[in-house]
Amino acid sequence: MNTFMRWAGILVTIFIAAPLVIVVPMSFSSASSLQFPPPGYWFGYYRAYFTDLDWLIPTWNSVVIASATTLLTMLLVVPATFALVRHKFRGKSVADLMMLMPLAVPHIVMAVGYYSYLGDLGLVHSHMGVILAHTCLSVPIAFLVLSANLKGFDRNLERAALSLGASPTKTFIHVTLPILRPGLIISALFAFVQSFDETVVAIFISGRNAETLPRKMFDSIRQEADPVIAVISTLLFFLVLVGIAAPYFISALRSRVPKPSRSPAGAH
């Protein structure tokens, strides 16, 4: 049984990782379109990506929009999560439902709604319009992560700090915030990824002025299947690998740093 489960796990891993592995050699392909196996290898499409403003501008737009979305999402989610998790009030169940509504509604429906609503406000084809729409999509994910952390929080730690004379503000900064830091970081990371990766809403709202990288990739593969798409996919793939490996690398470095020795009490 253990052998069967082991092989099943290996097969599932191969099935999931195979498309990622195929993308990497295609990014070095000399073919004029996406082709596997590549007929030859070169770095021309990497040079094309890093020297073409038609690709660099959407990349920059995605970074700016995702960063602003993350900031706005956290500014909304943190107080909302504390209110919904720690307090009881009339309409709380409705508020919970509204926070999670974007997860239940298909993105295409949300995109049409945002297009109509933001169009009336004059925010279609603008960075602000995409940021607001992406924030609405990122809020429920960040809320779920942070609320799970907050529900498991031991409030006796806050009560102890308050009983020792700390103000509510100092208690939040020095007690609550450090304990919730992992949840806050993960919530912000999910909000960033959600915005950076979103395509459907961006197609409706971004336009030429705020074109995002996923939209540019979608338009490119629909028109000519530009191999630069494989280059971008490979770069994003390795960025994710670096992000996953970085904590382990930092932990390994810290374990190798010698700890300062403590002299025995009374020693001279």
Q: What is the pLDDT of residue 67?
A: 92
In a domain, 28, yes or no: no
Contact (Cβ atoms closer than 8 angstroms) between residue 235 and residue 196: no
Cis before residue 37, ω within 30 degrees of 0?
Answer: yes
In a domain, 265, yes or no: no
- 265 confidence band (pLDDT: 50, 70, 90): low
In a domain, 7, yes or no: no
Alpha carbons 228 and 114: distance in angstroms, whole number: 30
In a domain, 79, yes or no: yes
Domain hosting 77: range is 43-232
Q: What is the pLDDT of residue 90?
A: 82
Q: What is the pLDDT of residues 161-192, one digit of tens each?
A: 778 777 777 888 888 888 888 888 888 888 89
* CATH (domain of 216): 1.10.3720.10
Q: What is the pLDDT of residues 21-61, one digit of tens each?
A: 788 887 787 777 777 777 777 788 888 888 888 888 899 99
Alpha carbons 34 and 54: distance in angstroms, whole number: 19
Alpha carbons 151 and 143: distance in angstroms, whole number: 12
In a domain, 105, yes or no: yes
Contact (Cβ atoms closer than 8 angstroms) between residue 227 and residue 39: no
Q: What is the pLDDT of residues 199-255, one digit of tens each?
A: 888 888 887 778 888 888 888 777 777 788 888 888 888 887 887 777 777 777 777
Compute CA 198 distance to the chain's CA centroid, rounded to the nearest angstrom.
10
pTM: 0.81
Q: What is the pLDDT of residue 179?
A: 82
Alpha carbons 146 and 131: distance in angstroms, whole number: 21
Q: How much is the CA Rg of the chain, to the nearest whole Å?
A: 24
In a domain, 77, yes or no: yes
Q: What is the pLDDT of residues 66-115, one digit of tens each?
A: 999 999 999 998 888 888 887 787 877 888 888 888 888 888 888 888 88
Q: What is the pLDDT of residue 245?
A: 78
In a domain, 237, yes or no: no
Domain count, the chain: 1
In a domain, 177, yes or no: yes
Rounded to the nearest 10 degrees, the angle between the axes of helix 53-86 and helix 228-256 is 50
Which H helix or E strand runs over 188? helix 177-197
